[in-house]
Amino acid sequence: VLPAAVKKVTIWGNHSPTEYPDIHHATVNNQEALSLVGYQWYIKEFIPTVQQRGTAIINVRGQSSAASAANAAIGQMRNWVLGTEADDWVSMAILSDGSYGIEPGLVFSFPVTVTNGQVSIVKGLSINEFSEERLRITEAELMSEREAVRHLF
């Protein structure tokens, strides 16, 4: 499958093992991604693999995944400048406006579209109970991290 065939995958929340890779709205060649891979594979294989990717790279290379982070930064700049495709979105860590019940002002990764440099959270996505739990877990971690450094500002 070519990467361009995959649309609307979302990474919610923190850049840590609590991040939530969500394929409930994703498509592959215009077919529902979840129906193609199966729910058990998604839960037992995909989510943990994505959540542990940074650790896996460090374990193999013996050093940080800085090249992956640099590549991601390039991709984000490209999306900011050129925008997102009309039938797709990307994930970006931005200040929460309260969407999906995430505390306003918290930096959190959301599904977004970008048009003429304007970043907009994708609104109205259905969130099932499993996804809701994952959003709360990563939100709680981010709030805890913010509190741990609040005295520095």
Chain position carrying tokens 């977004």: 112
Which residue type occupies 96?
S
* Residues with catalytic roles: 15
CB 92 within 8 A of CB 74: no
Tokens (6 digits) for 119 = 């970043």
Instruction: Give the whole-angstrom CA distance, residue 57 versus residue 63.
Output: 8
Cα atoms in the 13 Å half-sphere on the side-chain side of 14: 19
DSSP three-state, residue 13: strand
DSSP three-state, residue 140: helix
CB 42 within 8 A of CB 21: no
